[in-house]
Amino acid sequence: MLELLARRAADAEPGFATKQVRWAVVFDGQGTFLDVVELGEAGQRGNRGQTFRCCPEFSRQYKQGGGKSEFLWDAASVVARYTDDPDDERLKARHGHFIKLLEEAAKVMSELGPAAQVLADAQVLGRIRARLKEKRARPTDKVTLQVSGRFPLESEDWHVWWRKTYQASAGLDEDDSAVKKPHGGRKMVCLATGSIVEPLDTHPKIEGLAGVGGQGMGDVLVGMDKDAFTSYFLEQSANAAVSREAAYRYRAALNELIRTNSRKLAGALVLHWFKEKVDAAEDPLSWLDEPPEVEERNAQQAARELLDSIAQGRRSDLGNNRYYALTLSGMSGRVMVRDWMEGPFEELVANIGHWFDDLSIVHRDGGRTASDPKFNAVMGATVRELSYDPPSPPAPFVAKMWRVAVRGEPIPQTALAQALARAKVDIIGDEPFSHARMGLMKAYHIRSSREDGEYMKPYLNEEHPAPAYHCGRMMAVLAKLQQAALGNVGAGVVQRYYAAASTTPALVLGRLVRGGQFHLNKLEPGLAHWYEEKLGSIAAQLGDSVPQTLTLEEQSLFALGYYQQLAFRKSDDADAEEKTNE
């Protein structure tokens, strides 16, 4: 994984990083302060600012010395001393370091000199702070400079000077090798490249995991700051040796993926990429989040078309491609790798197609299949309400289900149990059916047993061999019969008997069928005969095999039989109306 990430950002260089900066302090060519402007999607909620891909960045060790700032960019509290206490001594020291760096860099980029002088002026700083306050900036927001209409961050004039400054701050000589040997000059094998290297003592932090348990200042992927994390008398990150160059490369790759190609899934963040470029419309993993619309082209059809193109040689570029998927969250300043997957692109397309095919279920109104569900909708099918703080369902469960979708694995029984429990609540409470919930239960049976999967269809299957399935069908017909005879009676047979019938059908269904005879007497003869035929056909499927008790899997079959029988009601209702008019 580290090797692939380091290779993805092969151009990344220690001392440089991509940053998103939200504000710019604007100067003219003479260094006169003009204004503070918002960068990025100005005025938009959640705006993180403009992306600058080559920002200077000091090492963590250097800044931990105290009184240090970044160069050309930093928090508003540092650049303009924009806090509740602008006279704080530590803050003044960092602000002074920011100005010192501008003055030194002015030797190679002259326009930075006047800007440094202005930022040292207390009156001008007051005006800058006032503008930041008017625009509701936060002290932690990143700020940079704009001089004569351009951003110094985008210039290359300071790069050579900065490399020498960074090397001196990190204790490196001119060839970028360590002068100070934190491990006594010990050489080790780099986990990312396989080369013999001097391991980096403290790795740079990964950004962007604050929404999934991480810290706003970043989290470390490789770090051993506790004795319990060390072995063989090694210190810090030497327990997982990675060179300085590889560490900054995998950090750059992860930060880019988190920023541009990630999705939040109930307490976890999923990143993915491909060995070779794949267009967004042909990215199977994006279908899990945003399936194609049924009216245009559903995910199953898209997968089949793509597989046909690969098999027939029209898309040989995709046939040799590979995918990589990483699930992350944060905890106590550390990056938690929840899952890692890789494999052939063609296999991925087939698995995503099977995922949507297994989940397909008749629409609650009948007559058509429901739209392909988003992955978050499937996760929400297992809980009362999908939430992120705290994550519900928990991140490990989400990671497991993501693997189920991507790798074509069986659905865990816990997912079935949770979906079934919520389905019972919906049925008894007379709430609208969740298509994702019913589809998940159907998919469980398809993936758990090839024999069961043969009989699980999106629509009603009157030839299904499981008695539990037909018990659910009978419950649905009895509920419709009561409604036809008595209308809306409030707490009907479903509210009063569904829970018992779905666990001990032999004790309940016989009594309900006998009670149904009284309802038949209230109907028109033609309609009564139609219901008798419907109940008789289901009873013929059951014979003498009405179960005494139902297991968890059988209870889900009961629920599926109940749902699919009700969803078939449009054609049933048409037949019933015809019988009434005879």
Question: Chain-centre distance of CA 384, in angstroms?
Answer: 19
Nearest to 303 by CA among 356, 341, 376: 356
Band of pLDDT at residue 249, cut at 50, 70 and 90: very high
Cα(509)–Cα(497) distance, integer angstroms: 9
The structure tokens listed for 328 are: 């992350």
Query: Using an 8 Å Cβ cutoff, are 356 and 413 in contact?
Result: no
Band of pLDDT at residue 353, cut at 50, 70 and 90: very high
Q: How much is the pLDDT for 140?
A: 93
Q: How much is the pLDDT for 440?
A: 97
Q: Which of 280-289, 291-300, 416-425 has the lowest mean pLDDT?
A: 291-300
Q: How much is the pLDDT for 358?
A: 94
Band of pLDDT at residue 498, cut at 50, 70 and 90: very high
Q: How much is the pLDDT for 451?
A: 66
Q: Decide: helix, strand or coil at residue 108.
A: coil
Question: Chain-centre distance of CA 421, in angstroms?
Answer: 25
Cα(302)–Cα(307) distance, integer angstroms: 9
Interval 423-472: pLDDT, tens: 999 999 989 999 999 999 999 999 987 666 688 999 999 999 999 999 99
Question: Chain-centre distance of CA 195, in angstroms?
Answer: 34
The structure tokens listed for 172 are: 């490196």
Output 424-428 pairs: Cβ under 8 A, ≥24 positions apart.
424/498, 424/499, 424/502, 424/559, 427/494, 427/498, 427/559, 427/562, 428/494, 428/495, 428/498, 428/499
The DSSP letter of residue 255 is H
Locate the DSSP E strands across 135-178. Answer: 142-147
Question: Which residue carries 């008595």 as its tokens?
Answer: 486
Q: How much is the pLDDT for 46?
A: 83
Q: How much is the pLDDT for 296?
A: 47
Q: Is the dihedral of CA 410, 415, 421, 425 positive or negative?
A: negative
Cα(303)–Cα(96) distance, integer angstroms: 58
Residues contacting 236, CB < 8 A, separation 6+: 182, 201, 202, 223, 224, 225, 230
Q: Decide: helix, strand or coil at residue 243.
A: coil
Band of pLDDT at residue 396, cut at 50, 70 and 90: confident
Nearest to 359 by CA among 450, 440, 457: 440
Tell me whether residue 453 is exposed, middle or buried, using C-beta atoms within 10 angstroms of its C-beta: 0 to 12, 13 to 18, 19 or more. middle
Q: How much is the pLDDT for 561?
A: 95
Q: How much is the pLDDT for 578?
A: 52
The pLDDT of residue 185 is above 70: no
The pLDDT of residue 491 is above 80: no
Cα(71)–Cα(16) distance, integer angstroms: 11
Angle between helices 493-501 and 467-486 (to 10 degrees): 170
Band of pLDDT at residue 399, cut at 50, 70 and 90: confident
The pLDDT of residue 547 is above 90: yes
Nearest to 376 by CA among 262, 211, 265: 265
The DSSP letter of residue 212 is G
Region 395-418 average pLDDT = 92
The DSSP letter of residue 219 is B
Q: What is the mean pLDDT of the chain?
A: 88
The pLDDT of residue 295 is above 60: no
Query: Using an 8 Å Cβ cutoff, are 101 and 108 in contact?
Result: no
Locate the DSSP E strands across 208-268. Answer: 262-264
Cα(420)–Cα(417) distance, integer angstroms: 5
Phi, psi of 528 (to 5 degrees): -60, -40
Nearest to 555 by CA among 362, 417, 352: 417
pTM for the whole thing?
0.81
**Got the DSSP string for 474-531?**
HHHHHHHHHHHHH---SS-HHHHHHHHHTT-HHHHHHHHHHHHHHHHTTS-HHHHHHH
Q: C-alpha angle with apex 170: 251 to 55, nearest 5 degrees?
A: 50
Region 310-331 average pLDDT = 89
Query: Using an 8 Å Cβ cutoff, are 471 and 509 in contact?
Result: yes
Band of pLDDT at residue 522, cut at 50, 70 and 90: confident
Band of pLDDT at residue 177, cut at 50, 70 and 90: low
Q: C-alpha angle with apex 549: 546 to 553, nearest 5 degrees?
A: 100
Nearest to 354 by CA among 408, 310, 413, 394: 408
Locate the DSSP E strands across 78-168. Answer: 142-147
Interval 70-126: pLDDT, tens: 999 999 999 999 999 988 999 999 999 999 999 999 999 999 999 999 999 999 999
The structure tokens listed for 251 are: 């950090």
* Residue type (1 letter), 460: L
